[in-house]
Every structure is written in structure tokens, then in C-alpha cells.
Structure 1
Amino acid sequence: MPDTSPRGLTRLAFGGDYNPEQWPESVWQEDVRLMREAGVTMVSVGIFSWALLEPAPGAYDFGWLDRVLDLLHSHGIRVDLGTPTVAPPAWFYRAHPEALPVTAEGMRHEFGSRGAICHGNADYRAAAAAITTRLAERYGSHPALAMWHVHNEYGVPVSACYCDSCAAHFRRWLATAYGTVDAVNEAWGTAFWGQHYTGLEQINPPRATPTVGNPGQALDYRRFTDATIRENFRMERDILHRLSPGVPVTTNFMTALSQCDSLDYWAWGREVDLVTNDHYLITDGRRTHVNLAMAADLTRSVAGGAPWLLLEHSTSGVNWQPRNPAKAPGQMARNSLAHVARGSEGAMFFQWRQSRRGAEKFHSAMLPHGGTDTRVWREVVELGASVDSLSTLRGTRTEADAAMVWDWQSWWAQNLSWRPSEDHDARERADSFYEVLYDRHLTVDFAHPEADLSAYPLVVVPALYLTTEAAGRNLTEYVRDGGTLVVSYFSGIVDEHDAVHEGAYPGALRDVLGLTVEEFSPLLRDDRVRLTGPDGEEPTGDVWTEFVVPRGAETVWTYADGLTAGRPAVTRHRFGRGTAWYVSTRLDTRGLDAVIGRAADDARIAPRADLPRDVEVVRRSGEQGSYLFAINHTAADAKVPLDGPGTELLTGERAAGRLAVPAGAVRVVRLDG
């Protein structure tokens, strides 16, 4: 495979977004001096600079950017150069107000923030292509250039636009996808509520309606929006490939399931040369390191298991949540190195120098308002040295123990209106299943439902409402061939058009699960049901129950009360050479762990009881060797067993037997052999 790592970068990436245009030029020399002190190897430049680079239509000013890139190059700092197309200038919107996006209710957004773009607007596309071309022509062979950074966080904060231009583009998209209006009518089920169309020209985006609109139309508009944004990325990417050959092109994803739901990252992962991701902790009182691990695993999976790059995270608190606590001492290093453990080729931040003005002036940075005599700065310098000591692991891959099936399009479909219970949340189920796997010290790959699953002894499906026939066959064959599958409720229900599969629930998964579901029976808020099962276990469930009829599956747990009392709650089906489990309620953590534990036994995954809770152990390996990461998220010292002797890279000490990991610390052992 071609090398898609940042060009000329021989160490792990360490640095952040650098916005010198916010500061007088006299500050730049101090910036690069301090970057060298902190161990910075790469910075992202120019992401929001369109108005300065093109202050008037067709009039360009590259002088300041020339000086910035030359200065960085002279100090050995590589550049991730942005195309500034996320923030068109005020003059552009004055000339083309129709490029501002329109909401489903018909309100047009105004200039004055970021990402306010109608991606179907031809004038925006032409202007974006022009500035990208000029940048590529000028800097495509600059010696500081490591990679190209297109746009910024596509889909945030606005993805869909409902203007007339997008309506016309949507009709063209439908013509390509379906061919005829009759095919659209069939896919959307427009015979319901008299929504039948006799011509494609009659179709508009799913704008505000008196009550719920057509779900098939809404789902296709999500697909259309994603495809339209991706068209714009490909346009810029292709310009850069043509004018700056050999330099990888990326755009920063936001794969954390809580932060961006508008893009299908399985499709996006195939478009970039290097997968990069932005991740920010959601400090809602939960164990934030678990969601961080989940986001990193998901990003690595979008990259097909290949190394990827954390392009943004925070040194300490952010500014956009209701409450923004600082990170505890040592937490920045743990966060950063946890991403590296799970496949990132470095740790980058937003941003280098903390802004004095603007909406994000209270967002933490590598160089805080308080300067170098601060805890954050001292931790940044220490982290820079730690990241540098790990550079020999470049190119290695993270080893996974199990897989979780996830599909953005199924999530879109499940989130449409009028489902059996608004309390059932696909993301919450993914979080909960992942947390149980995490606490069992299993490293997780994520997989598209139609992907090859044969490498995994255990596959979990926390929420797959939309299940294509191909996905159903794939999961069935996985179990038939010897795999162990765990499926949660309300999966297998509809096809790609949000049409219920013919026959009894769970549709595409009936055979592999060995059961049917006669009826869903969601619970009222705060209602609970009790389950009885083996060894006297009595977990509880909430949100959802079902009337399950075994058709080959054995009942493992039974509902003890509620409308479904006496009915199966959790089943196990021996199918071919494998086993499929089904969970028909939202189990509490104890119950879900019991199910996963029994499924792991079926999969012959040995329990890892010798590892303490919240001590994260992950392995990366490759031709360069094998590296074991031990990350202690607790306030107590811990010990981790090693497979053999090796060298701990952050301290330089030899390690064997049981590795001591101090409270709140990280240890990375390069194993001998």
C-alpha cells in the first residue's frame, strides 16, 4: 500500500492548530521557539483564513502565509495546510446570499459564525475550487508541507440545507439513485397518506410539515446531504492530488458518536488518504476515558485498521459545554496516549496559542493565556517528550479482541419520528455495550454490518434497526461459520428504505436468532421489569420489552413481571457451528455484563480478571515490534502482567513479570523479541 503518512514527518505528530493571523508578526518568533521547546513536530495552518488570503474577489494576499510556512520550515516544523473553505468571507456572502443554508422551517442563516454553507450552491463550489487551486499552485511543493487539510469538521454545525437549489439537486440525485418516479414511490411507500408523485419535479426536500413527513424521504435526504458534502470534499481533494502529487489529503472527522451524526464515516473513510479525527470529552459525569477509547476504536475502524491521526483534542477544558471543567493533572497525557494506544500516529490539539478574542477564547490551548508558568504548559512539554519517545511504533497496528457492528445509516433511520419508544437510543446502546466490553478489557474494532467478520470470535450488535438483506445474510453466515453473536432489541426490523421486512420481527435476523417477536412492548418512563435466570441471577430491564417466541433458541433469562411475564427475555441459539444471543430489553449493567460474559465463554475468550477496573491495556504490533500500553485511570497504583520482558519507553527502565503503573500514569513497554 502507498505511504499516506504526513510527508517528511519522521516522528509521531505532536502540535496543534496554529493561527498566527490572530497575533502580530512579532509574536511568531516566540511561537516557533516555544514550539521547539515543547517538542512540536507539526501544526495545522490556514483553516479559517479565506478572508485574509482572498480579501476581495480574485485578489489574493499570500505574503503573510509565505512567511509563516518559511518560518516553520526553518525550525523543522511540518505543516498540515488547510483549505479555508469552511469559512467563506463576508464579501462572498454579500455577493451570493443564497449560499447561506436554509433550515427545514425556511429560515436562512446569516454570516457571522462558521460552517454556514449550502453545499449544493454552485457559487460556493466555484469559489472553493478557486481558492483551493491557488493554494495548491503556490504551496503544493513547499518544503514544509506534510499534508493537506480540506475544510474543517464537515457537517458541523450545519449539514442539511433545504433551499430551492438543494431541492433541484435532490431531484437529480433521486433520478440517479432510482431512475424513475415510480421507483421513488415504491421505495418511500407514498401510497400511505396520499403522498404519491407523478413526476420527480414535484418532490421537495423534507421541509416542515403539519405532522410527521415521509420517513423514506427523510432518510434519503440524509443520504443526499452526506453525498453532496462528500462531492465537495472530492472536488477539493482531486484538485490537490493533481497539483500537489504525493502529498496526502485529509479532512478532520468527528467520529465520537455523541458529536456528529450527519456523515456516514464508512463512506468517508474510503475518500481520504489518511483518516484523522477530532475528539473532545463530553464531561457529563460519566467515565470520559471510556467514550474516548470508543471514539478512538471507531476512528481506527473507519481507517480499516490502519494507523490514523488525532488531529484535535483539548489540553484542558473546552468552552462550548454548559459546564467546562479543567482536566485533572496528568489527564491530558492519559487522554493523548490512549489515542496513540488505539492507533493514532500522534496527538494534536486545538490550538497552539489560546485566543484572546472570539468565541473560543476560553477554550484551552497548548500555550495558555498564563503563558509558560502554568501547569498546562509544563504538562504539554512533558507530553511532547513522551510522544517523541514512542516514535518507533509508527506504522504498527492495534490488536482487537472483538467487534461491534455500527451503521450510521441505521442510526439515521432509527432517529426518525414515531418509533415505538423515544427512550430507545441507538447511541446509548452502543455506549453501554462498549462499556461492558471495555470493563472486560477487550479491545474493540467497529464494523459495517456487511463487512467481513470472520476474524472476530465475538461480535455484538447493540442497535441495527435498519438491516439490509445483505447485512442479514452476513451476520447469519458469520454465526453459521462458528462465530458468536450478541444482538440487542429492535434490530433487523427494516430494509434500506425504512420498509419493514416481510414476515415476523426481527426480519432479516429471524433465522440466525432462532426466534420471532410477536409484538414490541415498550415500557413507560421509570418502569422496570425483573428477569430470572441461571444461578439465581435477577437483573432488571427498562425502556423496552418484547413478546418473544423461540423457534429453535433456548431461553436463558425470563421476564418475571410486567406484561411479558413468563416470556423469554434473553435467548441463546446454536446455529451451524456458532451461537447467537438475543437481548430483548435494556438490561442494567450487571445483566448486560452477565450476557456478554456467557457469550465470551461461547467465543472462548478467556476472562481477564487479573486486570484492575479502569486500567486500560492495549497492544500495538507490527514489523517494528510489539508495544503494550497500560493506562491507569485510577487514583491507586496498579500492576499489569506482561507476556515477556521489555523496555518501558517513557522511563527507559527494564520491565518483566508484572508492570508497575502508578496512579494516573501511563506506561508503554516495547516487548523483546
Structure 2
Amino acid sequence: MPGYPVLPAGLAYGGDYNPEQWPEDVWREDVRLMREAGVNLVTVGVFNWGLIEPREGQFDFARLDRILDLLHSAGVYADLATPTSSPPTWFRHRYPGSRLVDEGGRVLGGGSRHSFCPSSPDYAAASERVVAALAARYAGHPAVAMWHVHNEYGWANAHCHCPVSAEAFRAWLREKYGEVGALNAAWGTVFWGLTYGSFDEVEPPVAAPPGLLSGLRLDFMRFSVDAHIACFRRERETIRRFGDQPVTTNFMIPNCKPMDYRRWAEEVDVVANDHYLVAERPDSHIELALAADLTRSVAGGRPWMLMEHSTGAVNWQPRNVAKRPGEMRRNTLAHVARGSDAAMFFQWRASRHGAEKFHSAMVPHAGVDSEVWRDVVALGADLRRLGGVRGERVTAEVALVWDWESYWAVEFEWRPSADLRFRDRVEAYYEALWREHVTADFVHPSADLSPYRLVVLPSSYLLGEAPAKNLHRYVEAGGHLLVSCFSGIVDENDTIHPGPHPGALREVLGLTVEEFHPLREHETVPLRRSGDPGGTGPAGRIWSERVRLAGARAVHDFAGGPDAGHPAVTRNDLGGGTAWYVATALDPAPGDGAHDADLRGLVAGVLDHAGVSRPRGLPDTLEVVRRGDHLFLLNHADAAVTVGGVTGTGVLDGAAYTGSATVPAGGVVVVRP
């Protein structure tokens, strides 16, 4: 398998480059500015299909030849894209059966990208043809360091409901189940008498009355992931007929719910990710850290590439808030701290046309006499100084379970509470860890958990029998497990585990749940330490449960609400380890600006019990990450912070640190022994 991109020593720096939007005299200015900023890699050709194949089977590479030659002369490498995310207008008109059909049966129009069915044989033939022509011409070009297949799979066409997709789905089901009886058993079609007599009777989950079969919906989502992966494989293998450069595509972790990126990670030579802040969130830097940790984990701990982020505002949010001074630098270096060997942006030069003309860029509409450009040049200098971090890894003592299939299933309709959402649960527990200065990995519940002192299950509604046994073995062997409510409820087909809840986790948790008691909107329930009837404790929201102990002991009880007097937080000592359970949501409502002291206090106690090492006495606005022998200190507050126990040389400032380091307000310090 091809290895990491062949680039000069250090980190990759650059962004999406779309010179076709500009006259050639601007191209020459572009490469001059790239040298000034220290850019060494740009993504080229993402939306070029209609330009290099203006008519079916007729190719014109003259413009792309000149672009790649110009980049090579400037010492800038190309991440050469296949333009297959945006088929030409002629393709849509010549092959109308390839058009995307939504859940309501509407055939979607043109004028945008991702307007095709991923199962279309016409799209497959056309995309393979253009990729073969590109690879044959440029696989040996000295500027091409790697290949960027497609762009953001699943962005707008994660699912297609056209007749072609329906037939492909039925073929996928035949291969998975073999005979229709196995499908009926897996989906529980006896409910409502919906048993299928043959695979030909299966329809995709189009618009239908409420109560659609969960097994049908889950399998259609799995099929859709496979359909996009098949498109990627076809292009990757076409490229490999001509060259051996690394091949990747850009993920959208964690913001593309339909794509199971653990499955995708097996297909790419290097994991690459696009990440954009939700700019209005006051804790957007914590969500960024989560995205980076999840991307690194999807990559199996190996270094990865930040393929896109923004210098300032994006164009597609309700209110596109620009980044504050120093924020772009902190954002970028936070990704590097958490494992990225690249810092890439969308895009190099701000566009004058189209839907993204108000999206920020490395060269903004204001030009080079601007704060953004000066920050871009300064960031390039920082990244050159940080070149020694390339290839180093981040290690963690704590992991959170993230399973895309559980993400899908817990948010189907007709669950006990619409307020119990996957991302909210994960982000609540992740934030508590972040504010405790704990770096975390993300794992699948079936993974090897032995490297971790603590594993957290924030939202594992869907949990198969084998992963549950894996968690049980982990605790018996001395691991520590923290489980949030409504976990372990159903198997991989969204079928309730037999016996009392939480079926898959009853034994490891040492309890059963007799009944769920979702709370009303804005309702809270008080908790108190078990055995202290007059005491006060944290408050729960969203959820309450009637927990019955079966080996575990209560740590906190509900002091009010439908389960008053019954356990709310439990602990079960099992073998050499401990399993904790939280039968409510202890964190404040998302977006209310409050810090989640109640959940954080619980998490801190569990971390102590598990023996997880972490810095103490630091403000929870300071981000502390160690990557290899580099210590990153990122200050998200408006006041300077002094950190003790820091000895070494400042990588960015060259300063000698002998026992402590002061991180300026909004600043970053990186220290190496």
C-alpha cells in the first residue's frame, strides 16, 4: 500500500486551490504568495470535470497542465483531486436516470454538486473514464504528491431513493441475508404483519406513514455507506493502475452523521478530515478538540491530515461569525497537537462567484494588506518551526465509545425522549474530560480496550452481544467503565435484548432497569448522596429510571421526581475493575453557557478512582495536550496563564522554560525537552 505523501520534511500547509476561477496573471501572483506564506501543498482540480471534459469523451488538459507545471516550478506540491463530486451539466442531461431522488420521491435538479445517484451505472462509467484520463496523464507528474478522490462523500447525496438505488439495495440485501426468511427474522417483520415474501418486495425507506421498520432503516443506511465506498474503491483502483501515490478523500468528522467513517478508514492510505467550527458556540474549541480526537482515533492513532478548515467565517451557517484575533492560529495548532500532520484550508483565494463567495480564504477579498493574510504568513512560520512533530503520536488513558450505528438508531422516531440525542451525550462527557485536562481517544465497543484505564459509554443505545461481552471482560481484567443512561438496550438490528433493561449491560453494571421515566421539557430532578436523606446533590434532566440493584451499590439516589428514593448513580465492583452507571443527564442544557459542574464532579471522581493522571490546578480554559515529546499549551481565555512543571525549549518562540511557562491570553506555547 502506498505510504504517506512524499513532501519536504515538516508539516503540510496550504489549501484548496481553484485557479480556473481566475485569469492566468493571477496564477503567477498566487505562487509568489504561496512561497511567501510557506505553502507546500494545495488541492487542485476538485470541481474541474466540466472543464477537462467539456463534452463526453473529449478531454482538454491544457489549463491543468499549465497549473501543475507552475506549481512545480514554485516548489509547491499538488494533492490532485478527481472531480467526480460535481458531474458536468452535459452528464445530467444525457443521463437523466442518474439524477438524485430524495426520500419523498422528488427528482432533484441541477445547479449544485452531489446531484447524482451513487449507485448509477452511468455515473460509474463516466467517473471511471475521467479518472483514468487524469491518472494516465498526471500520475508521473513531479508536482503530484497524492490523490484526493471525490470531495466530501455523502455531503448532499448520502442516500438516493431512485429505482436504480432500490434495485441495488435489494441486491445488497440478497448478499447479506441469503434468503428472505433471515431478513424477516432480523427486522422483526411479524410486527404489524409486514413479512416479506421475496427480496423483490423490499422498498427503500421512502416517505411512508410513521413507524417504519428500524431494521429496514438501519440496513438502508449501511447499504448507502457501502454504495459510496464502492465509488471510492473504483476510483482508487483506477488511479493505482497508473501510479503509486497515496490516495485519500476528505471526511467530515464528526458532522456527517450518515457516513460510518470507521468503515471508510480501512479504504484510504491516510485519513483526511474537513472541520468547521459552529462559530456561535461559546465552546467551539472543545468541539474542535473532539473532532480532532475522533479523527485520530478513526485513523487508528496514526497521524492524519486536516484537509480543510477556515481562516475566518464560513458561508453556510445561520450567522457566520468571523474568527477573533488569534483564533485561527489556536484552531490550527489544536488540530496539530491532536495528531494532524497537515494544516489545510478552504480555500486559497476567496471566490467572487457561486455559493461560497462569502467563505473566508487564505487570500481574502481584502487582499494581502489584511490581518488575515498577515496571520496566514505567521502561521506558515509556526508550522515550519513545528516540523519535528510530524509522525509523532498522541497517547490517551481514557476512551469514549463512538459507534455510528448507535448514533443512527438512537435518533430514529418513537424513542422514549426526543431530548436524548447521541451528540449531546457524547459532547457532555467529552467536555467534562476536556475541562479536567484529559486527552481521550474514541473507540468502537468491540475494540481492544486494554490500553485504557477508563472507558466511557456516553450513548450506546445499540450494543451487540459480542461488544457487550468485550466490555465485561475489560472490567473483569481491571478496567473501569462509566456508562450513561439508555445504553445497551438493543442489538444490531434494533431489537430489544431479552430480559430487563439494560439487556447487554445488566451483568457488568450489576443492576436492572424496570422502567424509563423521561422528564418533561425543562424539568429537573434532584439527586442526593445515597444514605444521606437530608443532603443535597446534583440535579438531573431529560431522563430518570427505576433502577434495581443486582450486585451494584448506590452512590447517589434520586431525591425527587418519578424515581425518588431509587438509585441514580451506581457502582459495581467486578473482578479487578469497576463499572459505574448514571441513570440521568447531569449536565446543563446545551448552549446555556453553564459549566457542567455536576457531571464534571462525577467524572473527576471516576478518573481518580481509575488512576488517570492529569494536570491539577489549571483553569479549565487551558488546553493541555502532549504529542510525542511536544507539550502543547493553548490558552482560550482572555488572561495569561502560568503553568508549572514545564521545562524545555519553546518550539515557537525559542524561549528556555525552567520550571514554568506563561501562556499569553489567547496564545499558544509548545515546549520540547
Q: Shorter chain as normaliser: what TM range?
A: over 0.9
1:586 alignment partner, SS class: coil
Q: Is 1:365 aligned to residue 361 of structure 2?
A: yes
1:205, distance to aligned residue in structure 2 (A)? 0.4
Q: How do 1:321-360 and structure 2 match up within 5 A?
A: 321-360=317-356
For structure 1, the residue ranges without an aligned partner over 5 or more in a row are: none
Q: Distance in 1 between matches of 2:343 and 2:644?
A: 27
Please tell me whether the aligned partners of residues 533 and 556 of structure 1 are also in contact (alpha carbons under 8 angstroms): yes
1:4, distance to aligned residue in structure 2 (A)? 2.5
Aligned equivalent of 2:639, options 636, 645, 654? 636
Partner AA of 2:642 in structure 1:
K
Q: How do 1:184-263 and structure 2 match up within 5 A?
A: 184-245=183-244, 247-256=245-254, 259-263=255-259
2:241 alignment partner, SS class: helix
1:386 alignment partner, SS class: helix
1:646 alignment partner, SS class: strand
- Residues 149-204 of structure 1 show CA distances to partners (whole Å, capped at 9, x for unaligned) of 00001110221001111111011100111100000100111111111111111111
Which residue does 2:63 correspond to in 1? 64
Q: Which range moved further: 582-591 or 66-75?
A: 582-591
* Distance change >3 Å, CA 476–CA 573, structure 1 → 2: same
Aligned equivalent of 1:281, options 277, 280, 296? 277
Which residue does 2:30 correspond to in 1? 31
Q: Distance in 1 between matches of 2:446 and 2:653?
A: 44
- Residues 370-412 of structure 1 show CA distances to partners (whole Å, capped at 9, x for unaligned) of 1001010010000010011101111100122310011001111
Please tell me whether the aligned partners of residues 21 and 351 of structure 2 are also in contact (alpha carbons under 8 angstroms): yes
Partner AA of 2:625 in structure 1:
V
For structure 2, the residue ranges without an aligned partner over 5 or more in a row are: 588-595
Q: Distance in 1 between matches of 2:314 and 2:614?
A: 37
1:601, distance to aligned residue in structure 2 (A)? 1.7
Which residue does 1:392 correspond to in 2? 388
Q: Distance in 1 between matches of 2:137 and 2:642?
A: 54
1:421 alignment partner, SS class: coil
- Residues 437-481 of structure 1 show CA distances to partners (whole Å, capped at 9, x for unaligned) of 000000010001100010010110000011011110111111010
- Residues 262-320 of structure 1 show CA distances to partners (whole Å, capped at 9, x for unaligned) of 11111111110000000000023331100000000000000000000100000001110
Which residue does 2:79 correspond to in 1? 80
Which residue does 1:311 correspond to in 2? 307
1:148, distance to aligned residue in structure 2 (A)? 0.3
Partner AA of 1:555 in structure 2:
A
Partner AA of 1:356 in structure 2:
R
Q: Distance in 2 between matches of 1:537 and 1:121?
A: 61
Return the TM-score normalized by structure 2: 0.97
1:3, distance to aligned residue in structure 2 (A)? 6.7
Q: Distance in 2 between matches of 1:370 and 1:597?
A: 47
Q: Distance in 2 between matches of 1:520 and 1:268?
A: 35
Which residue does 2:601 correspond to in 1? 594
- Residues 120-162 of structure 1 show CA distances to partners (whole Å, capped at 9, x for unaligned) of 1000011111111111101111101111000001110221001
Which residue does 1:91 correspond to in 2? 90
Q: Distance in 2 between matches of 1:262 and 1:539?
A: 35
Q: How do 1:618-633 and structure 2 match up within 5 A?
A: 618-621=625-628, 626-633=629-636
Partner AA of 1:170 in structure 2:
F
Q: Distance in 2 between matches of 1:212 and 1:151?
A: 35
Which residue does 1:173 correspond to in 2? 172
Please tell me whether the aligned partners of residues 438 and 614 of structure 2 are also in contact (alpha carbons under 8 angstroms): no
Please tell me whether the aligned partners of residues 410 and 467 of structure 1 are also in contact (alpha carbons under 8 angstroms): yes
Q: How do 1:512-531 and structure 2 match up within 5 A?
A: 512-531=508-527
Aligned equivalent of 2:651, options 636, 649, 652? 649
Q: Is 1:576 aligned to residue 575 of structure 2?
A: yes
Please tell me whether the aligned partners of residues 313 and 348 of structure 1 are also in contact (alpha carbons under 8 angstroms): yes
Partner AA of 1:192 in structure 2:
F
1:8, distance to aligned residue in structure 2 (A)? 3.1
Q: Distance in 1 between matches of 2:127 and 2:250?
A: 17
Please tell me whether the aligned partners of residues 492 and 507 of structure 1 are also in contact (alpha carbons under 8 angstroms): yes
Q: Distance in 1 between matches of 2:407 and 2:448?
A: 21
1:215, distance to aligned residue in structure 2 (A)? 1.0
Q: Is 1:115 aligned to residue 114 of structure 2?
A: yes
Q: Distance in 1 between matches of 2:148 and 2:16?
A: 11
Which residue does 1:612 correspond to in 2? 619
- Residues 87-116 of structure 1 show CA distances to partners (whole Å, capped at 9, x for unaligned) of 000000000112111111110111111111
2:232 alignment partner, SS class: helix
Q: Is 1:299 aligned to residue 270 of structure 2?
A: no
1:608, distance to aligned residue in structure 2 (A)? 2.7
Q: Distance in 2 between matches of 1:612 and 1:435?
A: 14
1:607, distance to aligned residue in structure 2 (A)? 5.2
Which residue does 2:460 correspond to in 1? 464
1:38, distance to aligned residue in structure 2 (A)? 0.8
Q: Distance in 2 between matches of 1:596 and 1:581?
A: 10
1:537, distance to aligned residue in structure 2 (A)? 4.8
Aligned equivalent of 1:484, options 480, 485, 490? 480
Please tell me whether the aligned partners of residues 16 and 43 of structure 2 are also in contact (alpha carbons under 8 angstroms): yes
* Distance change >3 Å, CA 25–CA 607, structure 1 → 2: closer
1:398 alignment partner, SS class: coil
Partner AA of 2:671 in structure 1:
V
1:162 alignment partner, SS class: coil
1:428, distance to aligned residue in structure 2 (A)? 0.4
2:306 alignment partner, SS class: strand
Partner AA of 2:152 in structure 1:
E
Q: Is 1:270 aligned to residue 277 of structure 2?
A: no
1:9, distance to aligned residue in structure 2 (A)? 3.5
1:639, distance to aligned residue in structure 2 (A)? 1.5
Which residue does 2:593 correspond to in 1? none
Q: How do 1:485-504 and structure 2 match up within 5 A?
A: 485-504=481-500
Q: Distance in 2 between matches of 1:220 and 1:324?
A: 36
Q: Distance in 2 between matches of 1:521 and 1:355?
A: 52
1:201 alignment partner, SS class: helix
Q: Distance in 2 between matches of 1:532 and 1:116?
A: 55
- Residues 214-243 of structure 1 show CA distances to partners (whole Å, capped at 9, x for unaligned) of 111011100000111111111111111221
Q: Give structure 1 regions of 4+ aligned residues with deviation exceeding 4 angstroms.
A: 534-537
Aligned equivalent of 1:410, options 394, 406, 409? 406
Partner AA of 1:521 in structure 2:
H
Which residue does 2:662 correspond to in 1? 660
Paired residues in the alignment total: 662
1:532, distance to aligned residue in structure 2 (A)? 0.4
1:58, distance to aligned residue in structure 2 (A)? 0.3
1:206, distance to aligned residue in structure 2 (A)? 0.9
Which residue does 1:51 correspond to in 2? 50
Partner AA of 2:541 in structure 1:
D
Partner AA of 1:251 in structure 2:
T
Return the TM-score normalized by structure 1: 0.97
Q: Distance in 1 between matches of 2:224 and 2:36?
A: 44
Which residue does 2:6 correspond to in 1? 7
2:501 alignment partner, SS class: coil
Partner AA of 1:445 in structure 2:
D
Q: Is 1:436 aligned to residue 432 of structure 2?
A: yes
Which residue does 1:543 correspond to in 2? 542
Q: Distance in 1 between matches of 2:210 and 2:306?
A: 42
Please tell me whether the aligned partners of residues 11 and 41 of structure 1 are also in contact (alpha carbons under 8 angstroms): no
Please tell me whether the aligned partners of residues 409 and 494 of structure 2 are also in contact (alpha carbons under 8 angstroms): yes
1:397 alignment partner, SS class: coil
Q: Distance in 2 between matches of 1:65 and 1:221?
A: 39
- Residues 28-60 of structure 1 show CA distances to partners (whole Å, capped at 9, x for unaligned) of 000000011111010000001100010000000
Q: Distance in 1 between matches of 2:311 and 2:348?
A: 10
1:642, distance to aligned residue in structure 2 (A)? 3.6
Partner AA of 2:250 in structure 1:
N
